[in-house]
Amino acid sequence: MTDRLTRTTPKPKAGIVHLGPGAFFRAFNAVYTDEAMAKAGGDWGILAVSLRSPDARDQLAPQDGAYTAVTLGPEGREAQVVGSITGCLVAPEDPGAVLEAMADPAIRIVSLTITEKGYCHNPATGKLMRDHPDIVHDLEHPEAPRSAPGFLTAALARRRAAGHPPFTVLSCDNLPSNGALAKQVVLDFARARDEDLAEWIANEVRFPATMVDRITPATTEADIAALEKAAGYSDPAMVAAEPFRQWVIEDSFAQGRPAWDEVGVQMVADVEAHELMKLRCLNGTHSTLAYLGYLAGYETIAETVADPDFAALCRKMWDEEIIPTLPRPEGEDLARYTAALLERYRNPGIRHRTWQIAMDGSQKLPQRMLGTVADCLDRGTVPEGLCLAVAGWIRYVSGTDEAGTPIDVRDPMADRLRVAATSADPVDAVLALDAVFPVKLARDARFRDAVASAHDRLMRDGAARTVQAYVR
CA-nearest of 357, 336, 330 to 276 is 330
- 142: helix, strand or coil: coil
Do the beta carbons of residue 15 and residue 259 sit within 8 Å? no
Q: How far is the CB of 385 from ligand CS2 (least distance, A)?
A: 17
- Cα 363 to the center of its chain, rounded Å: 10
Nearer to ligand CS2, 215 or 237 (CB): 215
Q: Which residues bind ligand CS2 (CB under 6 A)?
A: 174, 213-215, 282-283, 286, 356-357
Whole-angstrom CA distances from 38 to 85, 88, 251, 321, 388 are: 13, 21, 21, 43, 47
Whole-angstrom CA distances from 51 to 168, 307, 367 are: 19, 39, 24
Q: How far is the CB of 264 from ligand CS2 (least distance, A)?
A: 15
Do the beta carbons of residue 184 and residue 128 sit within 8 Å? yes
Nearer to ligand CS2, 109 or 215 (CB): 215
Nearer to ligand CS2, 99 or 209 (CB): 209
* DSSP code string of 357-379: HHTTHHHHHIIIIIHHHHHHHHT
Task: Quote the CA–CA distance of 310 and 454 in Å, as a whole number.
Answer: 16
CA-nearest of 329, 240, 353 to 278 is 329
Nearer to ligand CS2, 108 or 286 (CB): 286
Q: How far is the CB of 148 from ligand CS2 (least distance, A)?
A: 18
Nearer to ligand CS2, 197 or 397 (CB): 397
State the sign of the Cα–Cα–Cα–Cα dihedral 448, 451, 454, 460. negative
Q: How far is the CB of 246 from ligand CS2 (least distance, A)?
A: 8
Q: How far is the CB of 18 from ligand CS2 (least distance, A)?
A: 17
Nearer to ligand CS2, 71 or 174 (CB): 174
Nearer to ligand CS2, 110 or 215 (CB): 215
CA-nearest of 454, 326, 467 to 387 is 454
Q: How far is the CB of 254 from ligand CS2 (least distance, A)?
A: 27
Whole-angstrom CA distances from 442 to 341, 350, 377, 445 are: 30, 36, 12, 8
Q: How far is the CB of 335 from ligand CS2 (least distance, A)?
A: 20
Nearer to ligand CS2, 117 or 286 (CB): 286
Q: How far is the CB of 358 from ligand CS2 (least distance, A)?
A: 8
